[in-house]
Amino acid sequence: MKHGPLLDANEFKKNLGWYCDVCGRHRKDRFISVYTIDFSRDFKCVDGTIKKNFKYCNDSRHCYNHIKMIAESKVYKITHPI
């Protein structure tokens, strides 16, 4: 079985991408940011034990505003139980 050449770390990082949790688009790493919301107190747990990371397009006002709305209202907890 023949394999292609291995990517070095810089080449791997350059091609790394993620899906936005808001719009669903696949974006390069540099266009995705992560917002973490701590749900621990909602479940009467120690702070930091129940967290959810939301990936969003950092160059899209729509994606940012959606994440901000989730963070302020914690709508995610109600519509998508952890």
How confident is the prediction along the chain (82 residues), in pLDDT tens digits per residue? Answer: 555 566 667 766 667 899 999 999 999 999 999 998 888 887 888 988 888 899 999 999 999 999 888 888 765 544 444 4
Residue 2 lies in a domain: no
Q: Please answer whether residues 33 and 56 qualify as being in contact, where contact means their C-beta atoms are separated by less than 8 angstroms.
A: yes
Number of independent structural domains in the chain: 1
Is the pTM value of this prediction over 0.85?
no
Residue 74 lies in a domain: yes
Q: What's the pLDDT at 7?
A: 63
Please report, for residues 45, 61, 79, the alpha-carbon distance to residue 39 in angstroms, rounded to integers and kept in the order given.
9, 25, 14
Q: What's the pLDDT at 21?
A: 93
Number of Cβ atoms within 10 Å of the Cβ of 82? 10
Q: Residue 41 sits in which domain range? A: 16-79
Residue 5 lies in a domain: no
Residue 3 lies in a domain: no
Residue 10 lies in a domain: no
